[in-house]
Structures are given as C-alpha cells and as structure tokens.
Structure 1
Amino acid sequence: MLSSFKGIFPPVPTIVDELGNLDKPGMARMIDHVIGNGADGMLILGSGGEFCHLSTAQRKEIAAFCLQHVAGRVPVLVGIASPGTAETIELGRHAQQAGASGVLVVNPYYAKLSDEARFIHYRRVAESLETLVFLYNFPDLTGQDIGLDTITRLAREVPNIVGIKDTIDNISHTREIINRVHAFRPDFIIFSGYDEYLLDTLLLGGHGGIPATFNFAPQITRGIYDAFVCNDLYSARVFQQQLAKLSPLYALEQPFFGVIKTAIKLSGVDISTAVIPPALPLDNEKTEQVRNILAHITL
C-alpha cells in the first residue's frame, strides 16, 4: 500500500463559481488534467484547495465529488485539518468512507499547543481512523512547527501515521526527519511541500513531492522526479532551473490561491479562477505578471 505513495501528488485547487460553490464540471476537468499529465496521485483540500475558507459541509461535498470522479485511477489524499480534534476526526471518517487512500492533517492552528497536546491530537485522530494518516507540517501558516521530537514520537508509536508533507523553508529540517525516522522506520513516506525542495528531498531519501506548479507546468516537476529515478542528474538540473523561474509566482499575492488558478487558466485549462472569500481574485496587473513569469519557461 505504501508503495503507491511515491512521486508527484499535486495539491489540486478547488474549482468554484463566482458564488463560491463547487463548480463540478470545472473540478472534473481539473482532476482529469492532472491525471492526464502523469500525476502519481493527488491531494484534495490541501492549503491550495482553500480548505481554510470552506464550511465542513462544503469540504465533505468536495471530497465526495472528487473521490467519485477520480474513481480509483490514482491514490487520493484528502486534507482533513481543523483546529479541533473532534472535527478533524469527523472529516477523516467522512474521507475514509468516501474512499480516500489516506488523509493529510496539518497541526491545529490559532491556539499554541504544547508538544504533548500536539502528540495526543494526532494520536487520537489516527486511532479513530482505519485509513492511512499523513502529518502536514506548515509552520508559516499554522504558527507552530509540529516539532522534530513529536514527529519522531508519532512515527515510532502510532502505526497508521505513515508519512509527512514537510512544508518548511529549510531543507535541513526535512533532512533531520529523514535521518531520525528512517533509522527505525525506513518506509515512512517523506513528501516535500515546497516545490523547489523536491529534488533535495529525493536526494536525501524522500519519496516525492506535493508541488502546486504541477497543476500548470506538469512537465517540470514530473521531469525532476523521472530524471531522479533514472539517475539522470543533468536533466534534473535543467528542470530544477526551470522550476526556479516559477518561484516568484508564490509571492505575487497572499494567499496564493488566485495565482495558481490564474496560471492554470493561462496554461490552457478551462477553469474558473474564482476564489473563496476572504481571498481575492487577481487583478489585471497581477494576471499579466503571471503571464510574464510563465513565458520564461522554455521546456
């Protein structure tokens, strides 16, 4: 089962209409696009899926629709994070019943938690579910790192916590997780969160990445992973240099949801670029900036 969690698992944006409701035809096109371009799996309702601005009912609707449309073609991770343990478990049970291959759980946000509170939260979530559980570390947005000691303890003591998406702007942090956890659990899955650390993560012993750029430039991160598997470091370097040209996209707007959707639209996928309030759609000036950044890709 864990062998299927390798490679490129793009975080698929949630396609909505101007009223913020799920655009089912657009969502279906988005899913087919990433599968058709060689994604090994996908993440639904991650950070780029705007889960933080959706109601619980909307999140369940989106998870159910996406899993039904994927129909087992690739593994699907579903983001189930919530500030409270009970709602996280509720969303996890729904995802499990809907057919998710696994769930991704960012640590509770807003209230700062002790190491013990974070550990018990994750243990309770994992023990309440039968599906595979992946940790999601994104301290820039949650305000708190899960913590290396807590990650190590969870990997050691909770069997169905099977991996982590480490979204932290410091590759040494991911290296330390690999060094610590793989010493006693070598099959623990390590996904890079930041696109530009995909190659570094693979070289250090990780398993793949969850890169948003795949949604509009799939040849680049797909190329990095395939080149790594083939030990073609020359090609990996070329793709990495192309990926670096896309990095300025993430700084164009906060949150970046509209940037990703606009880049997808400009790349030729017919989707709505509407975002869920309080996020704002891109104005014409920033749309042109996205267009100019994409124009620098030469592959």
Structure 2
Amino acid sequence: MKYQGIMTALVTPMDENGLVDKQGFANLIQDQLNNNIHSLLVLGGTGEYTALNMEQRKIAIDVAISEVNGKVPVVVGLLSPGLGDNIELGKYAKQAGADSVMAVTPFYVSPTKEGFIQYYEVLDKALDMPIILYNIPYKTGINMTNDVVEKIVGKIPNVVGMKVCSDNMGDVIELIQSVGDKISVLCGEDYRAVSSFITGAPGAITASSNLIPNVWVKIYDLVQQKEYDEAVELHKKFFPLMKALYREGNPGPLKAALNMIGLPVSSVSVPLLDPSLQVVEELKSKLDELIVPVR
C-alpha cells in the first residue's frame, strides 16, 4: 500500500469530561468523506493522543472504522514513547480494521541508530501490518536521520510510508530521492505541502484539512494536473488562516475554528488551553474573509 493525496490528521471531539464524543467524531468524519478526502489519521498529535487513556483511544478507533466503512484508508497513530502501549493499541487497530498504523520515533530515551532499527523491527514483528514512520524532532527531541530510514525501509517490507516534519527541505528531497520509489514520503507540515508535492512527495498529512478539506483536495488536484501556479496561489490564499490555526499551539485554535463553522468538537484538554480572545478574533476575521461555509 502506498499513500497519496491528502490525509487529514483528525481532531478528536470530546465531552466536558474529556471522553470521546462519538457523535461529534462521526459527524466530523462524515464531513471529511463528503469533501472527498483521500485518507484519515486517527489519534495523531492533532487528535490529542496523549490526552486520552487506552480505553478512549480504542473508542476513537472504533468510531472511525465504523463511520468510514471502508470508503477511504484509516491510519491509527501510535504516539507513546515505548513499545508496550504501541503494540497493544496497534493490535487493537489491526483487529478493528485499520489499514495502517503511524508509529512515532521512540523518545525520552536517546536511541542509537541501531536502536531505531530494532525498535521498528520489534513493532513490525508484533503487528505484521503496514507501518508509516513518523519523524517529528521538534516535538520528540529525537531525529531519525535519512540513513537510518533507508536501513529501516530496506529491512522491513511492512513500512509503507513516512510522515516527515522538517524545516529542512533539502532533507525531504534527499529522502524522496532515496526511498520515494519504495514508500510514500508524506509531508507533515501544512505550510510546506505544495513545495513538497512539486518536489515529488505523493501526499501530505495535514491538520487544517479538518477545517478546509475541499481546499486541500483542490490544491492536490491542481498539482496532479501540473497547474502549479494555481496550486501555489490557492495555498497562499489560505495560508494566513493556516498560520492562525497554529498561533497558540495545535489543536486549540483549530478546534475553535471548527466550532465556529458548525462542526462542534469541544475544546482541548490540559495542558493545552483554549485560544486567547485575540486569536479567536483573528480566526473569525480569516474565516469571514475567506467565506469558509458552515457545512
């Protein structure tokens, strides 16, 4: 399986007790499907993986698999620092019908290059299902270098993709050149997606597509049609909104914006906080300016 197109990193609607709002989550997913999104990521960072206990994570998986009903691929995030929770949740996701898991690099400890490789080998042996690697060094404090990725891809056939969050486009391009024929190198930054597409990335995992899935699908379609200037201009048009969504940490402003357009997803869980009044006003202004419809 190779991933392409736009994969939305879904927010997780919660009730006042911090439990998954099943109906709210189903409504959000249905909105994504109605806007022809290509695939969905459940329980990524945008989905507040760390705020949910194991039971609630499993509930989120069940809701997503049921609501999607095979229409698009569903990927489940494994964002714990060690193998135990990731293997347990990965096995549950596989049994529930998830298409792949996305496993973050092990963090807090400082693995060697060989440690990275063996970590993913053990995870693969335990799950035996498609795996998307996830490298986000500015959150984990750990960077999995391209040479390590090449070795992992060469050793583990179940590795089908990698979400890359990097400020260095040179590294991204080198990764596409070295393993792009074997796995899907997926851009993990909303603001770099178009440039990544043009340099060879087959897809992106985006947070703002919770709010504007139709725009992201259009951007991707324009790139596929080689209408690069139009794709860049459309991205530039919505860039101020995307920037506002990250103003005070993701997904607080994003959840606020979704609430504004009529997709209730509640607020974030501590230590994340609701956005300030200044950011709320900025979001309202950008949404009004761009005429983002209530769906």
Q: Give me the TM-score of the superposition, normalised by structure 2.
A: 0.94
Which residue matches 2:86?
88
**Counterparts of 2:265 and 2:207, CA distance in 1:** 17
Q: Give matches, 1:69-218, under 5 Å.
A: 69-182=67-180, 186-218=181-213
The answer to whether structure 1 residue 279 and structure 2 residue 272 are counterparts is yes
CA deviations 1:215-244 (Å, max 9, x no partner) are 112233212100011111232122121232
Aligned length: 292
Is the CA contact 1:79–1:103 (under 8 Å) kept in the aligned structure 2? yes
Paired residues of 2:258 and 2:265 also in contact (CA < 8 A): no
Structure 2 CA distance for aligned equivalents of residues 103 and 149 of structure 1 = 22
Q: 1:265 maps to what in 2?
A: 259
Aligned to 1:291: 284
Q: Which runs of 5+ in 1 are unaligned?
A: none
Q: In 2, distance between residues paired with 1:228 and 1:141?
A: 29
The residue type equivalent to 1:270 in the other structure is L
The worse-fitting range, judged by mean Cα deviation, of 134-143 and 192-201 is 192-201
Corresponding residue SS for 1:47: coil
Aligned residue identity for 2:256? T
Q: Matched residue of 1:9: which SS? A: strand
After TM superposition, what 4+ stretches of structure 1 lie above 6 angstroms from structure 2? none
The residue type paired with residue 141 of structure 1 is K
Q: Does 1:237 align with 2:235?
A: no
Q: Which AA in structure 2 matches 1:233?
A: Y
Gaps of 5+ in 2: none
Shift of 1:131: 1.7
Deviation (angstroms), 1:250: 4.3
What is the CA distance between 1:287 and its match in structure 2?
1.3
In the aligned structure 2, how far is the partner of 1:107 from the partner of 1:283? 32
Identity of aligned residues (%): 30
Match of 1:11 among 9, 12, 28: 9
Q: Which moved more, 1:213-222 or 1:16-25?
A: 213-222
**RMSD, aligned CA:** 1.6
Question: After superposition, where does 1:58-73 map in structure 2 within 5 Å?
Answer: 58-73=56-71
| Per-residue deviation, residues 25-73 of structure 1 (Å, max 9, x unmatched) | 1101100011111100110001100002211222112112211221111
Query: 2:244 and 2:37 mapped to 1: Cα distance?
Result: 21
Classify the secondary structure of the residue corresponding to 1:150. Answer: helix
What is the identity, as a one-letter code, of the residue corresponding to 1:35? Answer: L
Contact 1:242 1:298 in 2 (8 A): no
Q: 2: distance between equivalents of 1:230 and 1:83?
A: 40
Letter of the 2:241 counterpart: L
Q: In structure 2, the residue corresponding to 1:128 is in which secondary structure? A: helix
Aligned partners of 2:186 and 2:204 also within 8 Å: yes
CA distance in structure 1 between the partners assigned to 2:223 and 2:81 by the alignment: 37
Q: Distance in 2 between matches of 1:155 and 1:46?
A: 22
1:298 Cα offset (Å): 6.5
Task: Give the stretch that moved more between structures: 282-291 or 14-23.
Answer: 282-291
Q: Secondary structure at the match of 1:100?
A: coil
CA distance in 2 between partners of 1:62 and 1:19 (Å): 15
Q: d(CA) in 2 for partners of 1:243 and 1:173?
A: 26
Task: Give the whole-Å Cα distance in 2 for the aligned partners of 1:30 and 1:251.
Answer: 20
SS at match of 2:177: helix
Quick check: 1:246 aligned with 2:241?
Answer: yes
Secondary structure of the 1:90 match is helix
More deviation, 94-103/243-252: 243-252
Kindly state the Cα deviation for residue 200 of structure 1 after the two structures are TM-superposed: 1.7
SS in structure 1 at match of 2:58: helix
Looking at structure 1, the residues matched to 289 and 257 of structure 2 have their Cα atoms a distance apart, in angstroms, of 13
- 2-structure distance, mates of 1:295, 1:169: 30
Q: Which has the larger displacement, 56-65 or 45-54?
A: 56-65
Q: Give the superposition deviation at 1:296.
A: 4.1
- Residue 46 of structure 2 is aligned to residue 53 of structure 1: no
Distance (whole Å) between structure 2 residues aligned to residue 272 and residue 225 of structure 1: 26
